[in-house]
Structure 1
Amino acid sequence: MNKSLFKVGMIASALFLSACGENTPKESNDEMTETTTEEAVKEETASTEGRMTQDGITIYPADIAQDFPNAKLTLNNPKDDAKLKVGENQFDFTVSDYELAVQTDDAMNRHCANSEKGQHIHFILNNAPYLAKYEPSFKAELGEGNNVVLSFLSRSYHESIKNSTAFVLKNFPIGKVENKFDEKAPHLFYSRPKGEYSGKDAEKILLDFYLLNTELSTEGNRVQVEINGTSFLIDQWQPYFVEGLKEGENTFRIKLISADGAPVEGPFNDSGDRIITIKK
């Protein structure tokens, strides 16, 4: 063979192999692009996980940005054996590792209704709408029969502190009591939303409740949330945000139900209708 032709053939072969080598990284880049796209889809799916939308209403879990694991609420007065009267009675609490009447640090990032007076106690009597208390001592009206009091620490934007020391549940019966209240039974207490919302506060509404002596799961007890007649099922105890509410009156109702959808027995496990007002 002519040596010149041999050299040309060798050069051509080298160029061909080089070209093939240059193509290899391009194939790898395509694989990386596909992987990156797949990860992006997974991230997007994760970010929307837990969102439920029906009839234009969306409900989704609210991330807890600031927790207070050591916050503690203690009731000093009335004592368990106190003889209380119908009418005004004194309540005295001690608050530890938590400060009342200051803004929660992440309040401005929450973008929902926030109390200008700061962190406080939610004082709930017989599952009626709560009273916000910014001092640990105050007077409250009690009536004939059971006076079931749930008090818990609240962030400035009305989100409850959900730990085993941040609440107090007591019954103060006065006079004749027909049905004894069982403090150890499963209980659901309604907290938020409440009242009137306007402007930016009306865009994202906090849904929050207090759960005692039970847990939620996909195969166990759940909370049924009804908003203007549309039903959602919740299987985690945490705060939620609600968007898409109509202007004017909106009706909320929460119920503690079993795995088969039956009501869980308890005096407050059905909140009844709670009406809030939206002004946009």
Structure 2
Amino acid sequence: MAGALLTACDSGTNRDAEQAATDTTATSVDAGNSAQSSIQLTKGEDSPEFPDAMLEQIQPTDGQKFRSESVTFRYNIKNFKLTEMTEDAHNKMLANSQQGQHIHLIVNNDPYDALYKTTHQKELSAGHYVALSFLSRSYHESIKTPDAYVLRQFTVGNAENKNVDLTQPHMFYSRPKGEYEGKDTERIMLDFYLVNADLQENGHKVRATINGQEFMINEWKPYYITGLPMGETTIQLELLDGNGNRVESPFNPVTRTITLKEASNPQAAAH
């Protein structure tokens, strides 16, 4: 069952309209001129749960120092199978990895690497790094349970250890990413990962700005973007505190650009 469609925010939106956006289906409103917009953000339907899934990171350890720029990531996984297709993948109408379930590795909030094995080699220049790893369904939706992620920091080469406070609230961008073609452009998943923060009406929120149109998110779920034009789309995510101010974090805000393309051939259109 599809979730509620969020309205975009503007200075003229009243509390009743905001409440309707979280409770039921509503029309998206352009933040600039209050005219109806084709871009909509809808809370995703329920996905298969993996309550016992566990991700353990063997390397890097927290605070580890690497002399070489080649860093090895090693994991142990319990109650979750990499490369297996998530059971509802073909019903989601979302871009789906044909290689199946995987790990998302996000380093310094850069675009993730999708890992289909428990050992991964990554070249990193000298510097300080914060790495988030979490388990992902085959269509790139994160598993949002306490045992399904690991957050670590480490240094490479002769670099200063900046010691980011990982006990504070942080948000990491996951999807959408890259290029979408044909049918995959019709419904695109927005997904992010929260650490030490819960979204709620009177607490932390995420403000998503999509091609200049703002949406306020107060529930940690995947969301579906529809009505995007072909070409480039810019998405900015901001983690806000209960007073509507940006949370202090080296990863907040984050902005990404994706590209939507018409199907280049009938097979792509049917994907």
State the TM-score bracket (shorter-chain normalisation): 0.7 to 0.9
The residue aligned with 1:96 is 78
1:177 shift after superposition = 2.3
Q: Which is higher, the Rg of structure 1 or of structure 2?
A: 1
1:56 shift after superposition = 1.6
The residue aligned with 1:78 is 60
1:138 shift after superposition = 1.1
Aligned-residue identity in percent: 43
On the 8 A contact 1:223/1:234 being kept in 2, the answer is yes
On the 8 A contact 1:224/1:254 being kept in 2, the answer is yes
Q: How does 1:182-261 map to 2 (within 5 A)?
A: 182-261=165-244
SS in 2 for 1:67: coil
SS in 1 for 2:66: coil
**Aligned partners of 2:227, 2:258: CA distance in 1, in Å?**
14
Root mean square deviation of aligned Cα: 1.9
1:46 shift after superposition = 11
Aligned residue identity for 1:240: Y
SS in 2 for 1:152: strand
Q: How many residues align?
A: 235
1:89 shift after superposition = 1.4
Aligned residue identity for 1:222: K
Aligned residue identity for 1:231: E
On the 8 A contact 2:154/2:161 being kept in 1, the answer is no
Q: Which has the higher contact order (CA 8 A, sep 6+)?
A: 2
TM-score scaled to structure 1, two decimals?
Answer: 0.80
- Structure 2 residue runs of 5 or longer lacking an equivalent are 1-19, 30-36, 263-271
Structure 1 pair 87–52 and aligned structure 2 pair: CA distance change class (3 A): farther
TM-score scaled to structure 2, two decimals?
Answer: 0.82
**Aligned partners of 2:161, 2:143: CA distance in 1, in Å?**
32
- Structure 1 residue runs of 5 or longer lacking an equivalent are 1-44
Structure 1 pair 127–50 and aligned structure 2 pair: CA distance change class (3 A): farther
The residue aligned with 1:110 is 92
Question: How big is each residue's C-alpha offset from its partner over 1:43-89, in whole Å with a ceiling of 9 and x where there is no partner?
Answer: xx999726561322100110123110110100112233543124111
The residue aligned with 2:24 is 49
